[in-house]
Structure 1
């Protein structure tokens, strides 16, 4: 029987991908970290294994750990708990349990449901086999971390009982003593609160795949901020009617990690709409197909020659040596040549149809002119032997067969990828596509003046840099953009500007007015005047911390209630452009039907040392180029202050840099998000 200071745990990673390549797994280290930091010094992780998502493999490993003379106290699995066809972990574990533990399942779900309704898409199982407690966790490292944190303080009690400790002895002192020993109590309110509370005892900087639960960018180490109230006590934005003295002293919106912000964008961006049929022409470039496209014709539609030469009827022995009369000519133009007989040949050009009866084509290089008549070939000597039928011929449908799928739903039509040529070749004149969203760009602030207004600026005036920059960026990505002008810092004016914008466009981008000042009215206007929902109002990143993402319900032309999107970006120029590419572009892509939204990510090598922000991950403006060795190299554009317009000059990428006390050294590898074309340094 185990004592409270020697509880043992084993971790089972259920992942077919990780089973093939263990380096892809991040869950093991994450869960060990939870045991170490949140386990109260009571746990020893004795072993971890990776198995494919196969019931027999899962069962075998669990039985190995639980069905022996010295079983582990706890087995946690991670992965395979969703609704995918290959997700079998809950079924595998359920078949092995001798006792169910629905309370632990409820605890994990309650903690996750307090964060996102998508927690309902997980299928956790918990219970006891012999003397071992078994719990299934989600596959994402973040989701697995949060589910384990939600129940870890309860697990020693469960494991000790399962191992055989006398319940009377274990419960001596009553529930209050049990709560005290576990470090929990009624004050925690529920397991979700408990999970949230345990988060405050250690630093968070994880950027794992999207799971169920919440992520943070806080660091509560020595010298950090001390908070005595919970952000949930002030759940909404400022109420402008209360005056400046009653505005919030800090943002009521919880800080979100970049990964969590992107997840919220994915969850709340409206689904793409199917447009009416579009003609196959140059206007189709950039469109995304809304259904599979099938070939309406065979390509080629006739038997065609793939060389310049002579169509022949191959004899049974394949011997074509000799002199043959040229009885006709077939060019790559409409018209049918007369039937060809054995012993006759037809001069034929590349792509031209074979005359009826022809069975092969001899290349012109395998022939010699024997005689001519008036400048035309009369007889040709063929030097080929062992000729087979079908040589140098493209058969009907050999390139594309009629009825086959040539392009799939979700494919994007490019200007250089040949999609338009392929559609035209198979006789498709019209394709069903997704409607591209219309974007509106609005600047806010009494200090903003048109960028091209003549004359010097007065004290406090700022030229509108963001609006022309963002309009150009959105148009360059292929979207129709409406210039919404400038709205003043007055609640009624801003509300009317947004209402008019939402009637005209699908997605509104605003800049400025998203901080905590008394004139920062965007969040209050969205929430209090438009009835919108702010899904996040702060992001743990540099630059772009006050970035806001919201949806507002409106009626469309058919009288149906739909959601439209508002992105409120920071007012500083660099912040606005960075957050456009990082957050707005994925939303636009998703509304367009693009299946892999957002910027392309590539690994790059740093060409010099890069300083890091000590507290927040940074998206550093950089120039990525190809070296003579074929390596992608990244160079900073200079000072990265969010108001520094010069940092945008020449930038074709954003480097995803972690937070940290020391610089990243030259030669380090980081991920770059590519915004523009990559040049060569060769």
Structure 2
């Protein structure tokens, strides 16, 4: 196995001010030097500061030439001990086994080890482990990690190795035999329930972008009690969505009403002069811009040939859309002139202006320029005006939509359940999401309801550009979507939990399809409010990115609103369903009532989501009149 490259980070206010106070960092480097299989070319000292710790970790992991990062210090209960809080959000796959190994080793020496709060896991292809600050604890933990080649084996796997040699050695010793029966032992008392299982969760290589998932065929008692997916922030989740979705291909489309909603993929130029000659956009009189105000004779198409320049002292009456005679470069509108006199025909009736308008104003020629982007009615009119019969646009994504759940029943095509005492519940999400997609102009492949079982197919994904599912993302015994995506479809789960309310278990993944294309999959929560909120927050930006929208415009618009109802804050970023109304003072947001994720009624009348910040010790509630951002999902109402 190639040499393992190590970086050591000492976290200490004291040592950051005086490097000679750092004893733990040199101790780690000395231990590594004695093994012969590690090299340590990076050693940094930072203060007990979250940003400084995270910056060092991120820099090393981004470089890609560090296999193992060891931190020392900041893992206790001191007021400045923040290493676990700094590193935990960065971990993409946690390693609780390594934490247990270190704690066990230290607890054998002293019960005070229980006050240590180590964390371990991977960031990209780098293993990160936190150690206490004392030299004694460092030696105990390093001894545990290096014993039996634990870290060496872990890094081999992280690098993409198979670990065949280690597995073979274990098998030869009778340890980890594949023939050993799997068993689950449940010990129950009246006050506690302790579950022990010898079944092992499946760990996927981060180099392929996967997280630790339990095998979907395991019995319920053997599944995770805590999700293996790290909680990530709203901002990081949105960033992952846009980074992992590629814009669809370009195609030619006829310039018809069906072009609406597409995004242009080319700069549009008129195939010829449009119009072919100078014309007017208003009824009035054509003249030269050098003509001064005065009384002028009025010429018409009956009295003057349009191909002949107008003589001095005359103007030419012209109607909207009509061509200008040669030499004329200005049109003055009828309402900006004054009638002086007319002449009569043979019958004595007023027939024509006699020549005689007082020019009170004149206008220079105007040029029209427009930057076309997303095509709506006005853009279609412009393309038609310049004579473009077809244009290049980005393909508009087709959405495959399905619901998961043995308990769901289609309202329009109810199928009886096997039991006599259970009628099921109506599938709310699929109809509401399909309506939302249709309102946004997307074509939908409705795949119906798929039961919670492994035979659930990714039907239609080869014919659609994105798969949208609801249900099967939480911690229930039949919530199997994440492991199915990873194990059966070789998909990559980019995130499985987000710090938003509602919608914490929202999942975003990509699945390899024909032609080497990785198509996006969004597994939204099954509760109706969660599904609709997360659709607007995560799926709409993905659809726009697929369809060629500029990234800066992929998210739904946010506007400032005043709260008309007091609102309590949550530890997560909350999208509170509201009705937004406009009055003379601006926009006001009225809560739609109870905000439980299962409360469908909270969606009725909602045309926006107020974005509530996370709760803090200093702030747990927003009062009436507070100005907050709101996401618009419908038309703003007037009082």
Q: Does the TM-score normalized on the shorter chain lie above 0.5? A: yes
For residue 294 of structure 1, what is the aligned residue in structure 2? 269
Contact 1:269–1:587 (Cα < 8 Å) also in 2: yes
For residue 500 of structure 2, what is the aligned residue in structure 1? 541
Alpha-carbon distance in structure 1 between the residues aligned to 2:329 and 2:412: 72
Alpha-carbon distance in structure 2 between the residues aligned to 1:586 and 1:516: 27
For residue 612 of structure 1, what is the aligned residue in structure 2? 569
Whether 1:112 and 2:58 are equivalent positions in the alignment is yes
Question: What is the deviation of 1:336?
Answer: 4.0
Alpha-carbon distance in structure 1 between the residues aligned to 2:593 and 2:132: 41
For residue 310 of structure 2, what is the aligned residue in structure 1? 340
Alpha-carbon distance in structure 1 between the residues aligned to 2:119 and 2:602: 52
Alpha-carbon distance in structure 2 between the residues aligned to 1:302 and 1:361: 14
* TM-score, normalised by the number of residues in structure 2: 0.65
For residue 447 of structure 2, what is the aligned residue in structure 1? 484
Alignment of 1:279-428 (within 5 A): 279-305=254-280, 308-311=283-286, 318=292, 321=295, 324=297, 326=299, 328-329=301-302, 336-342=306-312, 346-358=316-328, 365-374=337-346, 377=351, 380-382=354-356, 384=358, 391-392=362-363, 394=365, 398-400=366-368, 406-408=370-372, 411-415=373-377, 418-428=378-388
Q: Deviations over 1:35-88 (max 9, x none)?
A: xxx7647889xxxxxxxxxxxxxxxxxxxxxxxxxxx99xxxxxxxxxxxxxxx
Whether 1:602 and 2:559 are equivalent positions in the alignment is yes
For residue 477 of structure 2, what is the aligned residue in structure 1? 518
Greater Cα offset, 578-587 or 351-360: 351-360
For residue 398 of structure 2, what is the aligned residue in structure 1? 438
For residue 475 of structure 1, what is the aligned residue in structure 2? 438
Alpha-carbon distance in structure 2 between the residues aligned to 1:196 and 1:587: 40
3-state DSSP of counterpart to 2:396:
coil
Alignment CA distance shift 1:367-1:272 (3 Å) = same
Whether 1:502 and 2:456 are equivalent positions in the alignment is no
Contact 2:262–2:375 (Cα < 8 Å) also in 1: yes
For residue 680 of structure 1, what is the aligned residue in structure 2? 638
Greater Cα offset, 237-246 or 304-313: 304-313
Alpha-carbon distance in structure 2 between the residues aligned to 1:540 and 1:252: 15
For residue 238 of structure 2, what is the aligned residue in structure 1? 262
Alpha-carbon distance in structure 1 between the residues aligned to 2:303 and 2:16: 84
Contact 2:286–2:331 (Cα < 8 Å) also in 1: yes
* TM-score, normalised by the number of residues in structure 1: 0.61
Alpha-carbon distance in structure 2 between the residues aligned to 1:628 and 1:482: 44
Alpha-carbon distance in structure 2 between the residues aligned to 1:432 and 1:196: 58
Question: What is the deviation of 1:189?
Answer: 11
Alpha-carbon distance in structure 1 between the residues aligned to 2:249 and 2:122: 43
Alignment CA distance shift 1:625-1:317 (3 Å) = closer
3-state DSSP of counterpart to 1:509:
strand
Alpha-carbon distance in structure 1 between the residues aligned to 2:117 and 2:270: 65
Question: What is the deviation of 1:236?
Answer: 2.0
Question: What is the deviation of 1:670?
Answer: 1.2
3-state DSSP of counterpart to 2:601:
helix
Contact 2:119–2:129 (Cα < 8 Å) also in 1: no
Alpha-carbon distance in structure 2 between the residues aligned to 1:447 and 1:186: 39
3-state DSSP of counterpart to 2:622:
coil
Alpha-carbon distance in structure 1 between the residues aligned to 2:119 and 2:636: 58
3-state DSSP of counterpart to 2:534:
helix
> Which 5+ residue runs of structure 1 have no aligned equivalent?
1-37, 45-71, 74-100, 121-144, 151-182, 199-230
Question: What is the deviation of 1:543?
Answer: 0.9
Contact 2:502–2:533 (Cα < 8 Å) also in 1: yes
Question: What is the deviation of 1:267?
Answer: 1.2
Alpha-carbon distance in structure 2 between the residues aligned to 1:515 and 1:372: 88
Alpha-carbon distance in structure 2 between the residues aligned to 1:655 and 1:377: 65
3-state DSSP of counterpart to 1:579:
helix
Question: What is the deviation of 1:317?
Answer: 8.7
Alpha-carbon distance in structure 1 between the residues aligned to 2:582 and 2:386: 38
Question: What is the deviation of 1:380?
Answer: 1.4
For residue 580 of structure 2, what is the aligned residue in structure 1? 624
Whether 1:463 and 2:463 are equivalent positions in the alignment is no
Q: Deviations over 1:261-320 (max 9, x none)?
A: 111111111233212x11222111111111222233445542334654555679x99585
Question: What is the deviation of 1:478?
Answer: 1.2
Alignment CA distance shift 1:449-1:366 (3 Å) = same
For residue 68 of structure 1, what is the aligned residue in structure 2? none
3-state DSSP of counterpart to 1:473:
helix
Alignment CA distance shift 1:350-1:466 (3 Å) = closer
Question: What is the deviation of 1:516?
Answer: 1.8
Alignment CA distance shift 1:608-1:102 (3 Å) = same
Contact 1:652–1:678 (Cα < 8 Å) also in 2: yes
Q: Deviations over 1:177-203 (max 9, x none)?
A: xxxxxx9999999997368999xxxxx
Whether 1:239 and 2:198 are equivalent positions in the alignment is no
Contact 2:502–2:597 (Cα < 8 Å) also in 1: yes
Question: What is the deviation of 1:103?
Answer: 5.7
Contact 1:514–1:523 (Cα < 8 Å) also in 2: yes
Alpha-carbon distance in structure 1 between the residues aligned to 2:367 and 2:535: 42
Count of aligned positions: 470
For residue 645 of structure 1, what is the aligned residue in structure 2? 600
For residue 486 of structure 2, what is the aligned residue in structure 1? 527
Alpha-carbon distance in structure 1 between the residues aligned to 2:412 and 2:282: 61
